[in-house]
Amino acid sequence: MESIIKLGKVTKSYQRGKQTVEVLHELDLDIARGEFVALMGPSGSGKSTLLNLIGGLDRPTSGEVEVAGEKINKLSASRLSRWRAEHVGFVFQFYNLMPMLDAQRNVELPLLLTRLSASQRTTNALAALELVGIHDRARHKPSELSGGQSQRVAIARALVSDPTILVCDEPTGDLDRKSADEILNLLRELNQQFGKTIVMVTHDPRATEFASRRLVMDKGGLVALAQA
């Protein structure tokens, strides 16, 4: 299968005063187009750092990160920003919705960076909300939505630009079991029916049952690769 994400000898270090802290150590990883990968491991193992590198939110200290045919570690800041808007949809644990905007307007936000007309932005946002099963809440603000509904809005926002990959950081971490399973079922449906490549960081062993592959990290490297 075609690889859509390739990491080669990736190292990521941070400076803490005079100390250099290495979070990732010469990590190699290939993810095929259309995979749903669950990334697990203890806190501090480098999971979120790896996710940030894949999503173009951070750059490696050394090594190469290639996503969707582009070596993103070599892009300028402005080109990386444009690449990210086109290719990556982000889903976070705490939704990151704008509290003063209703669901439709929250979903439209990524489209403000495009040349789409206002009417087309509305059409696309409503289509994304319908896809995630929350079209009837389009005019509700985040304070009027449950946690599961808010995460559906966040997923619709991630999907509205038809990104190449979905990058999910603990997408069910703030949800009860029933809502979490509904969100995981939605992600699996997006993967299986619409072919979306998904990389998900999770601490929830149950979440790995919905993925096609499980990766386990510890101390800045991959320690296990197995079918979920």
C-alpha distances in Å from residue 12, one per residue of 46, 47, 61, 166, 170:
9, 12, 5, 22, 21
Q: Tens of pLDDT along 131-186?
A: 999 899 999 999 999 998 999 999 999 999 889 999 999 988 888 899 899 999 99
If you average pLDDT over every residue of the chain, what do you get? Answer: 90
Burial of 166 (0-12, 13-18, 19+ CB in 10 A): buried
CATH architecture of 33-59+75-227: 3-Layer(aba) Sandwich (3.40)
pTM of the model: 0.89
